Amino acid sequence: MVWVSDAISETHLISSNEQLRQLYREPSQRVAEKKGSLVVGAAADFVAASPFFCLATANADGACDVSPRGGSPGHLKVLDDGAAVAFPDLSGNNLIDSLSNIVANRQAGLLVMVPGYDETLRIDGRASITTDPEILSLWSDELRTPKAAVVIEVASAFLHCAKAFRRGLLWQPESWPEMADTAGPEMFNDTAGTDMDPNEMRALLEADYESSLAAERRNGD
């Protein structure tokens, strides 16, 4: 099936909030009022337990990007009594898409996860990139000093329900598909239009992962 957005029939195109509300019921009052402006209490504990989150950004034209971010629990720090959160920018592919987006458009969002737990924490706000030594030293007990960190001033923080994770059986190992070790390299070839040997690419990737992650750690091992 070929699907092209420009070819969608105007008859079926949703282009207003009024049309959307004809499809979806109004949220409950509890849901409508669930957004807070601080990461405190159990939300701060959740952040402290999280080893993984996704960062959403957009460029000046509104083109969006989502980037996975991971580290030891506590790598996402709560600052200023819950008014901000911060994380180090660690080694990646050096495209710096997320950072470039933040320079152009400071609005960002996080989806914070804890493995095995179906509810997540969403944080939205105004992002900044900093090289302030005081901020960069927040991770000195574990990591070598990062080049930069991202600080997000919390505009909203709220619980996201478990439905998507339960539909997808995300934390249930018995539901996980078996993936070949070469699946990633093959995906790279198919999306980038290259024809590198998948086994060679896997070996290069693993060597890069090992060296990059070791270089980030404070003791280098």
DSSP string, 95-159: --HHHHHHHH--EEEEEEE-TT---EEEEEEEEEEE--HHHHGGGTTTBPPPS-EEEEEEEEEEE
Amino acid at the residue 115: P
Judge contact between 84 and 153, C-beta under 8 A. yes
DSSP 8-state assignment for residue 162: S
Segment 73-84, tens digit of pLDDT? 999 999 999 999
Can you list the domains of the chain with their CATH numbers? 33-167 (2.30.110.10), 177-216 (no CATH)
pLDDT mean over 175-179: 96
pLDDT mean over 28-37: 89
Please state the pTM of the whole predicted model.
0.91
Q: Which of 88-102, 144-158, 163-177 has the lowest mean pLDDT?
A: 88-102
Query: What band does 131 get if pLDDT is binned at 50, 70 and 90?
Result: very high
CA distances to 137, 178, 209, 211, 216 from 206, rounded to whole Å, are 29, 19, 5, 9, 16
Segment 83-103, tens digit of pLDDT? 999 999 998 888 899 999 999
Euclidean distance between CA atoms 34 and 45, whole angstroms: 18
Is the pLDDT at 135 greater than 80? The verdict is yes
